């Protein structure tokens, strides 16, 4: 394969979305080049929890991925706790038998497993290659430009939040709430259990979850407007009632990684003239609160690979991908946006958390929907939405 200069598909970005797409395409016989500007293992700002339904997607990918993830995941989450600004809290569980749980492992390990699986399936992987532009062939995208030009029948933009492929294709949109995140690994955090924690404050929120070996991933998310007066990382954590006194700053075992602003998506996940599509964060990333990004990246990879193979083998337009995404993600997008906007309103959070502390059935339902165990529409039913408030 090495030496081929004209590929069936060039996939830009070897995160979960790109590696899974490359794996599926290569396994179907396509000649695939997978490019990443980083060298693996590489880190990624994330809370590093794989929503329960992600397990099924990883099993379907095959290639020994699920076994490698299970072996590398020394923490498992059984549900999520949400703490309101007053300190009131609710807990939702993925199920009550312990069978449904979410793996939690460092992205350095998880992403390397997927990247290696793509290579084992036949994709040619080149690291340290930063894509800077697209090339066009009679109006359609026909390849990418890095230090050299790579020509392809289809380009897959899986290059994350700041995707160059998305920007070159046009149609990138942003909306409130504009938030940024600071994530760190901290050892020996007091009171960590097998339930992930989301602490909502008057300005921003914090996600907390174990990733094994006594280490906890801590993600502080704040609005861009709060940045000028931002206290230090640990000082900011101390301001949340459920977090005060739980951290020893000397136990930070990985420096803070910063990313954002979020609430960014592409109006169309397919290039206007054809020849390219977007998957994962490159296509859409609203807010990290619900922790569904890896699920969306893998589910999106499924849809993207199907669309690319239909184009390669039968000349079907990539536009089918736009419709497939809407059908697969419509409810999830709405729920994610309602929750992402809602956590910016402290009074609303207090009300919903107080309500869900009493209605554990609804708390479980909400946590299962954000964990992708049940469809988002189960929560979007008017009766359920009303039940969250009254
Ligand atoms: C604070 C925070 C917490 C989160 N917590 C969770 C969570 O607990 N669970 C969950 O499921 N999701 C979570 N997410 C979301 C999740 O991290 C993303 O949705 C997921 O990583 C998307 O995968 P991806 O493959 O689309 O992009 P990425 O994982 O970002 O991969 C993109 C790849 O593209 C490469 N790249 C970028 N530009 C170029 C270029 N020009 N040329 C070549 N390569 C390039 C990058 O090096 C990178 O390897 C969180 C996000 C944030 C910000």
Mutation choice for ligand 1 from 21, 42, 44, CB with most ligand atoms inside 8 A: 44
Q: Helix, strand, coil shares of the chain as percentages rounded to 5? A: 40, 25, 35
Distance 98 CA to ligand 1 centre (A): 29
Task: For residue 353, give every residue at least 6 positions away whose Cβ sits within 8 Å of its Cβ, in sequence order, or none.
Answer: 82, 83, 84, 88, 89, 90
User: What is the per-residue pLDDT for 2?
Assistant: 44
Tens of pLDDT, residue by residue over 36-50, are 999 999 999 999 999
Distance in Å, CA 160 to ligand 1 centroid: 5
Chain Cα centroid distance, residue 92: 21
- Alpha carbon of 186 to ligand 1 centroid (Å): 21
| Residue 161 host element (H or E) | none
Per DSSP (E only), the strands in 113-263 are 124-127, 133-137, 140-145, 149-157, 172-174, 179-187, 195-200, 205-212, 215-223, 252-259
pLDDT reported for residue 156: 98
Q: Which atom of ligand 1 lies closest to the CA of 54?
A: 11
Q: What is the layout of strands, in order, in the sheet containing 215-223?
A: 89-93, 79-83, 195-200, 205-212, 215-223, 179-187, 252-259
Using CB distances shorter than 6 Å, the residues near ligand 1 are: 12-18, 35-38, 44-49, 51, 130-131, 158-160, 164, 181, 183, 219, 259, 280-282, 285, 288, 291-295, 297
pLDDT at 74: 86
Of 382, 270, 262, which Cα lies nearest the Cα of 326? 270
* Contact (CB, 8 A) for 208 and 197: yes
- For the chain, residues with pLDDT lower than 70 are 1-4
Whole-number Å distance between alpha carbons of 114 and 92 = 30
Hey, whose CA ends up nearest to atom 33 of ligand 1? Answer: 13
Which among 301, 273, 267 has a CA at the least distance from the CA of 117?
301
CB atoms under 10 Å from CB of 173, counted, come to 10
Res 144: pLDDT: 97
Helix pair angle (360-370, 382-389), 10° resolution: 120
What is the distance, to the nearest Å, from the Cα of residue 122 to the centroid of all Cα atoms in its chain? 25
Between CA 109 and CA 122 the distance in angstroms is 20
Q: How far apart are CA 307 and CA 321, in angstroms?
A: 6
- Rounded-to-10 torsion of CA 23, 25, 27, 28: 170
């Amino acid at each position: 394969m090495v030496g081929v200069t004209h590929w069936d598909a060039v996939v830009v970005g070897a995160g979960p979305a790109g590696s899974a797409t490359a794996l599926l395409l290569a396994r179907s016989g396509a000649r695939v080049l997978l490019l990443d500007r980083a060298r693996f293992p590489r880190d990624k700002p994330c809370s590093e929890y794989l929503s329960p339904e992600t397990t099924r997607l990883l099993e379907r990918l095959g290639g020994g991925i699920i076994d490698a993830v299970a072996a590398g995941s020394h923490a498992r989450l059984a549900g999520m706790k949400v703490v309101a600004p007053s300190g009131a809290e609710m807990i939702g569980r993925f199920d009550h038998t312990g069978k449904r749980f979410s793996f939690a492992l460092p992205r350095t390990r998880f992403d390397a497993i997927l990247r290696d699986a793509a290579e084992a399936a036949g994709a040619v992987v080149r690291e340290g290659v930063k894509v800077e532009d697209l090339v066009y062939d009679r109006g359609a995208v026909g390849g990418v430009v890095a230090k050299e030009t790579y020509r392809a029948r289809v380009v897959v933009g899986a290059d994350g939040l700041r995707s160059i492929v998305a920007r070159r294709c046009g149609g990138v949109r942003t909306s409130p709430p504009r938030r940024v995140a600071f994530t760190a690994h901290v050892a020996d955090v007091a009171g960590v259990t097998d339930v992930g924690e989301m602490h909502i404050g008057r300005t921003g929120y914090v996600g907390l979850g174990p990733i094994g070996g006594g280490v906890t991933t801590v993600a502080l998310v704040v609005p861009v407007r709060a940045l000028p007066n931002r206290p230090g990382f640990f000082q900011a954590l101390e301001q949340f009632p459920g977090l005060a006194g739980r951290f020893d700053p000397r136990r930070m075992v990985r420096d803070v990684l910063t990313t954002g602003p979020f609430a960014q998506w592409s109006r169309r996940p397919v290039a206007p003239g054809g020849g390219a599509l977007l998957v994962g964060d490159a296509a859409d990333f609203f807010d990290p609160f619900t922790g569904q990004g890896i699920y969306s990246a893998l589910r999106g990879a499924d849809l993207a690979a199907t669309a690319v193979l239909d184009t390669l083998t039968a000349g079907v337009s990539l536009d089918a991908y736009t419709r497939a995404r809407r059908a697969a993600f419509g409810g999830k997008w709405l729920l994610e946006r309602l929750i992402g906007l809602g956590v910016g309103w402290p009074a609303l959070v207090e009300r919903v958390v107080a309500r869900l502390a009493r209605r554990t059935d609804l708390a479980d339902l909400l946590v299962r929907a954000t964990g992708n165990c049940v469809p988002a529409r189960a929560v979007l039913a008017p009766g359920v939405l009303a039940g969250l408030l009254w």
